[in-house]
Structure 1
Amino acid sequence: MFGSFERAVAGRYLRARKGERFVSVIAIFSLIGIALGVATLIIVMSVMNGFRQDLLSRILGLNGDLGVYGAGGTQITDYDATARAISGIPGVTNAASVYQGEILLTGAHGGATGGVVRGISRTDLEAQTSVSNHMLAGSIDAMAGDNAVIIGSGLAQSLGLTVGSDITFVSPQGNATAIGTIPRIRAYKVVGIFNVGMQEYDSTFVFMPIDAAQTFFDAPGKATQIEVTVKDHDAVGGVNRAIRAALPGKPISVVDWQQSNDSFFAAVTVERNVMFLILTLIIVVAAFNVISSMIMMVKDKTRDIAVLRTLGASRGAIMRIFLMAGASIGVTGTLIGFVLGVVFCANIERIRQALEHITGTTLFDPTVYFLEQLPAVLDWSEVTTVLVMALVLSLLATLYPSWRAARTDPVEALRHE
């Protein structure tokens, strides 16, 4: 499509000589604009993908992909048989019986905060890698008997607790006596501290054996829910229907993670799409800079175009010369932006730590962003979309100036020379 003559002339026009440096400077700024636009779009989209994936893994790591509850808020009595039936469904990796309740927590040295107690078997808790792989102190093996609990790092910090400390549970659902309702109070021993990386969970969750939780809440032989983990997070709809089919006639309610967190992840998706549209404008602005630089180049090379036409160059050849010159700016800028974006994403956590060290501030507060480190996940299909979009916009930006160059009348251009 492009001959050696056209490539040579286009390359010559991109190299500035004395008196032509202004046009070259504009072309350089156009290249920088495209590179920054592509890099910024890749970085932001990767961070949004990492943010969603990290949140999803942490939320599902503690709550499971689906929750099976008793219909109408009732508790499940035959939870062992129900869990075994669910475990046999294809695609299900684990079904854990849980007794959950909200309580007031107090430390031995004062301080009080609300918390969520989860009674669960030690085997099922070990299967929750978000907890078992993030133990800061103690161990899950020590969660045995009716006096051992594992708490989050935020809760331990707020109440001043360590492994071996006592923590007191106060239940609002107390025991009825002749003088009124007395709150249920009992002290437990902290045998482990975990840190899943989400402040909301680290500062509220407490794990204990399920039979101990049943005893404290006076609910022997009952579970509030069965947490189900599946192989494919996006296939929860089919597993949901399979659970209902496997438990016909049982008064249950099945809620998957998409239903329980739909508003949250919908907000993340909307924010991600809006950021994509906003940052795309950077590339659009850079494309307009390409148009302006090419128009100025055509204006500056009007005499050269006339000479080439008189020497026999066709209009198509002239158009291809300027198409190649403009496309070179777009392609080079896109490639530079791609490299910058990928390198930045690969080292984004180091860059964040360096900026925090230099500025002395916390860029991403975990209490606000739910994250203790900045994730970035490259989606190569999205990266390809960004690159194709940048290349297409750059090419479209060169069409009009190239057409104007091809339409130049050599007689009129040389009339006053």
Structure 2
Amino acid sequence: MCRLVAPAHPSQAPTRNPIRDRGKATEETRTRLKLPYEWQIGWCYTRASKRATGNGFISFIALVSMSGIALGVAALIVVLSVMNGFQKEVRDRMLSVLAHVEIFSPTGSMPNWQLTAQEARKNPEVIGAVPYVETQALLTRQGAVSGVALRGVEPSLEPQVSDICKEMRAGALTNLKPGEFGIVLGADLATNLGVMNGDKVTLVVPEGTITPAGMMPRLKQFTVAGIFESGHYEYDSTLALISIQDAQGLFRLPAPTGVRLRLKDVQRAPEVTRALAHTLSGDLYLHDWTQQNKTWFSAVQIEKRMMFIILTLIIAVAAFNLVSSLVMTVTDKQADIAILRTLGAQPGSIMKIFVVQGVTIGFIGTAIGVTLGCLIASSIPWLVPLIEQLFHVQFLPPSVYFISELPSELVAGDVIKIGVIAFLLSSLATLYPSWRGAKVRPAEALRYE
């Protein structure tokens, strides 16, 4: 039971106002009577100090349990927020050069692409539809050879489906004029070939020409009309853009390969793709950006799931500390339990007392952890650069990572899930100690009192 310590002598007590004290006492009594006595005693045990409990070690273990839950929750929120930030950053950089949905014909060309684009625009989620040609080729210059994903685009329409115009480091996409055979390269691809804006490169087309000497590949010299840098190494090192008219003539295509679409909400790409598959006329294939990068996104989801499980074990360890804290409290309070039992308290009421104590510790620890984790996760964009500046370190060197800043995205669903799991684990940790407290026999507990 929580005990009140009275003054040693009446002369040491402070001067009191009987009328005021009577009013306060009446108000406090009414407040306490609103809650069952199990709640009052459990809350009293939770906030009891060493002087009230007579055992400071129990209070210390309870504080450690609360701190462990708070740190585990905060760490889990921060880690998942950083992983969400990385995923969003990579996805945004990826979609700056990729279309959200691509429609193409199994024959390799789409003569009625205007009709397909018109039908696709009827979907309210589609905000852009442009033709394209895409194939594989080789680029060479002075002995350097690099395989490229060659894409024929219409420069005036390309801003409808990608942000590549905003990522030009040199030149401009509008320099791709039909018949001039200009080419726009990714920054890493240009570095690998050792070219700059205005230099010449040779394009090798796999589909060759039959001659008396055999099959000979077709070669065409292009002028570098621009260099873009999306920040995504895969596309900066492999993607090359030319005029769609030049691509059709070079690869002898009667029409574009297909149509690229941009959506209002990139997350709804799979849903929109399924809807378009039922509304578009003709024998067409469709795939969205999640299918193009399915392996990468699956790996990220697995990594995030495993990290969640690993860090949840920290909260589980803190919950085990809560078990030991409550067991020690039950052992220390056996006399109080025996007195309550002799006064008529049922075993279920004794269980409620310790359940209330454990749940209170778990709730406070979870609340502190959620608050701390949200504050740190939202402060990462300016906190990490400050730490790097103060201690002269760099967490993400540009030479190793293509993202030099630590991103963070706080997702409300993750925070709620983490808070609920932490609270449930701390609640489950109270079952055994409270059951043990309910099994205390009054006669044995009071034998040596």
Using structure 2 for the length normalisation, give the TM-score. Answer: 0.79
SS in 2 for 1:62: coil
Alignment of 1:60-75 (within 5 A): 60-71=95-106, 73-75=107-109
* 2:59 pairs with 1:27: no
Offset, 1:11: 4.0
Which is worse superposed, 303-312 or 198-207?
303-312
2:173 alignment counterpart: 140
Which structure has the bigger radius of gyration? 2
Offset, 1:275: 3.0
Structure-2 change in CA distance of 1:251 and 1:8 (3 Å)? closer
SS in 1 for 2:314: helix
Note the alpha carbon deviations across 1:31-69, whole angstroms, 9 max, x for none: 222122212322333334344444444444433232222
2:130 alignment counterpart: 96
* 2:427 pairs with 1:382: no
* 2:236 pairs with 1:191: no
Structure-2 change in CA distance of 1:24 and 1:136 (3 Å)? farther
* Amino acid across the alignment from 2:378: A
Note the alpha carbon deviations across 1:58-98, whole angstroms, 9 max, x for none: 44443323222222x52223334433343344432112211
Q: Pick the aligned partner of 1:224 from 251, 254, 257.
A: 257
Offset, 1:354: 6.6
2:185 alignment counterpart: 151
Structure-2 change in CA distance of 1:151 and 1:349 (3 Å)? farther
Q: Pick the aligned partner of 1:348 from 364, 380, 383.
A: 380
Alignment of 1:124-139 (within 5 A): 124-139=157-172
Work out the CA distance in 2 between the residues paired with 1:184 and 1:16.
91
Offset, 1:204: 0.8
Using structure 1 for the length normalisation, give the TM-score. Answer: 0.84
Counterpart contact for 1:67–1:225, Cα < 8 Å: yes
Structure-2 change in CA distance of 1:27 and 1:118 (3 Å)? same
1:212 alignment counterpart: 246
SS in 1 for 2:97: helix
Work out the CA distance in 1 between the residues paired with 2:382 and 2:192.
29
Offset, 1:312: 7.6
Work out the CA distance in 2 between the residues paired with 1:406 and 1:239.
58
Structure-2 change in CA distance of 1:15 and 1:416 (3 Å)? closer
* 2:312 pairs with 1:280: yes
* 2:439 pairs with 1:404: no
* Amino acid across the alignment from 1:180: G
Work out the CA distance in 2 between the residues paired with 1:344 and 1:25.
26
Work out the CA distance in 1 between the residues paired with 2:222 and 2:435.
81
Work out the CA distance in 2 between the residues paired with 1:2 and 1:212.
83
Q: Pick the aligned partner of 1:122 from 145, 152, 155.
A: 155
Alignment of 1:254-333 (within 5 A): 254-306=286-338, 318-333=350-365
* Amino acid across the alignment from 2:423: L
Offset, 1:329: 2.2
Counterpart contact for 1:58–1:130, Cα < 8 Å: no
Offset, 1:215: 2.8
Work out the CA distance in 1 between the residues paired with 2:395 and 2:275.
46
Work out the CA distance in 1 between the residues paired with 2:386 and 2:223.
40
Work out the CA distance in 1 between the residues paired with 2:362 and 2:271.
46
Structure-2 change in CA distance of 1:14 and 1:197 (3 Å)? farther
Counterpart contact for 1:197–1:372, Cα < 8 Å: no
Counterpart contact for 2:139–2:203, Cα < 8 Å: yes
* 2:212 pairs with 1:178: yes
1:39 alignment counterpart: 74
2:446 alignment counterpart: 414
Offset, 1:393: 1.6
Work out the CA distance in 2 between the residues paired with 1:34 and 1:58.
36
SS in 1 for 2:426: helix
Work out the CA distance in 2 between the residues paired with 1:222 and 1:247.
18
Counterpart contact for 2:42–2:354, Cα < 8 Å: no
Q: Pick the aligned partner of 1:166 from 200, 214, 220.
A: 200
Offset, 1:331: 1.7
Q: What stretches of structure 2 of length at least 5 have no aligned partner?
A: 1-34
Counterpart contact for 1:34–1:337, Cα < 8 Å: yes
Offset, 1:395: 1.8
Q: Pick the aligned partner of 2:117 from 75, 83, 95.
A: 83
SS in 2 for 1:77: coil
Counterpart contact for 1:50–1:376, Cα < 8 Å: yes
Counterpart contact for 2:99–2:162, Cα < 8 Å: no
Counterpart contact for 2:49–2:56, Cα < 8 Å: no
Structure-2 change in CA distance of 1:111 and 1:354 (3 Å)? farther
Counterpart contact for 2:130–2:161, Cα < 8 Å: no
* Amino acid across the alignment from 2:172: S
Counterpart contact for 1:198–1:366, Cα < 8 Å: no
Note the alpha carbon deviations across 1:375-400, whole angstroms, 9 max, x for none: 43322123112111211221221232
Structure-2 change in CA distance of 1:242 and 1:361 (3 Å)? closer
Work out the CA distance in 2 between the residues paired with 1:2 and 1:129.
63
* Amino acid across the alignment from 1:131: I
* Amino acid across the alignment from 1:141: T
Backbone CA RMSD of aligned residues? 3.3
Structure-2 change in CA distance of 1:356 and 1:75 (3 Å)? farther
* Amino acid across the alignment from 1:199: Y
Offset, 1:350: 4.9
Offset, 1:241: 5.1
Counterpart contact for 1:198–1:372, Cα < 8 Å: no
Structure-2 change in CA distance of 1:233 and 1:111 (3 Å)? same
Structure-2 change in CA distance of 1:192 and 1:323 (3 Å)? same
